Copies of this chain bind each other. A is one copy, B any other.
């Protein structure tokens, strides 16, 4: 039976597949930093070449930002569905670099108490996960000479920088990219060894502002006392964003569109194998620090957040400088749930800040990105049960429908622009340190991930 031969082929080809991934990981495709534009381009070229090498018609598509990669294959078997697979080849910045134990773009295999890991930026988010699907197709092709159904490959290079080109591209390529269902591999498992299909994702709203006080940097001897200090003022503003009693966000109207999780879903989540202690201790926490009246899992999957991702102003060098700086800066992201509207939320956040500006202080808003609403997936479609079964077979453990703390905006756009539901299946673990120094991907996730996709392809094309 062909699936078995494909799985055998995957096992025998694993070390070659790993070498291919290491090659891709060596390309520092940091999309948010313009300095790495050429590297993002190189990563896209690498993928085009790799897809072509397994008989997929792929090419690079230019955008105002980093290029998309689009590939097509199959279509002989017209009873089988048309699948679109999505992944992203760009990665997060690597700072603080000094906390990496190995160079972020010199990936290597490493033995750990949890088994062999692939260490390097992008190994888990998302190059390693993206390649699990490509390698499954490679093995299937090698064994059967063709793929079991029509597949469109769609790789993005701006996922880590707000996907500015995604919406226009989807709108322009609507016909080409519309399939029966989308497969996305950019999520993690609820717990080590628990195969998971994401059923809801949080949305995202990003903003950034500069608080301006004195018109120049001042000497704290001449102006210390009478002088307004933007570092103190920005701290007061940030402190005002939350209610310390309840842990809730204190921005007026912030929770509009947020709904309580239905009791039935909460029951499912209780049994999903999420290990709270493990999850918290991976980060060095002993308790959860979010909204006091919600469980840790709800805080992560079903509640919105207002997070400060960057804060700076004044002197950061060696020694001291007796300065009252002219400016202070703050980067913010909010995670959205339910029906929260990103644009309305941005307006509420900005009003909160502007209402609290002291005399002689002005604010400059430095970002104007699109936000993405949260996305709750319709899991009643047959493909979801089929995929769950395939994953259950591979992992010898009942696969679960889980929530997600992260934001995969593309899933929402596939629905709103292409009218396409998405199957989000990922093999990352909580301790992968994605977006952090020393990011890794378990070799087991890579290996069983490839095998999982082979089983899903088989199940969906029957």
A: residues with CB less than 8 A from B are: 31-34, 92-93, 95-96, 99, 160-162, 188, 202, 204, 206, 208, 213-229, 231-232, 234-239, 241-242, 244, 279-280, 283-291, 296, 299-300, 303, 305, 307-325, 328-329, 331, 333, 335, 358-360, 367, 369, 404-407, 430, 433-438
Contact = CB atoms under 8 A, between A and B. Distances in A.
A99 B218 CA distance: 13
Contact residues of A: prevailing secondary structure: loop
Contacts of A289: 226-228, 358-360
B284 A226 contact: no
6 contacts: A33-B319, A208-B320, A216-B436, A219-B434, A310-B325, A323-B436
A213 B436 CA distance: 14
A234 B312 CA distance: 12
Contact of A206 (B216, B283, B320): B320
B285 A99 contact: no
The 3 tightest CB contacts between A and B, nearest first, are A221-B406, A32-B319, A215-B284
A287, A317, A323: which has the most chain B beta carbons within 10 Å?
Answer: A323
A72 to B, nearest CB: 31
B437 A216 contact: yes
Nearest to A287: B359
A242 to B, nearest CB: 7
A220 to B, nearest CB: 5
Contacts of A202: 221, 224
Contacts of A96: 217
A321 B283 contact: no
A255 to B, nearest CB: 13
A437 B316 contact: no
Contact of A221 (B315, B407, B436, B437): B407
Contacts of A220: 305, 307, 309, 333, 335, 435
Contact of A315 (B227, B235, B310, B437): B310
Contacts of A232: 238-239, 241-242, 308
Copies of this protein, total: 2
A214 B285 contact: yes
Given A284-B214, A437-B216, A315 B229 contact: no
Contacts of A434: 219, 222
A407 B286 CA distance: 44
B316 A310 contact: yes
Contacts of A188: 222
A223 to B, nearest CB: 6
Given A202-B221, A226-B288, A296-B226, A321 B235 contact: no
A190 to B, nearest CB: 12
A92 to B, nearest CB: 6
Given A224-B335, A321-B309, A333-B320, A99 B216 contact: yes
A360 B285 contact: yes
A435 B321 contact: yes
Contact of A95 (B241, B315, B433): B315
Given A216-B436, A220-B335, A319 B161 contact: yes
A276 to B, nearest CB: 9
A312 B335 CA distance: 23
Given A289-B227, A307-B229, A322-B435, A221 B404 contact: yes
A369 B319 CA distance: 10
A311 B95 contact: no
A285 B215 CA distance: 8
A283 B435 contact: no
Contacts of A308: 229, 231-232, 235, 314
B360 A284 contact: yes
A216 B318 contact: no
A431 to B, nearest CB: 10
A279 B225 CA distance: 13
B303 A435 contact: no
A426 to B, nearest CB: 12
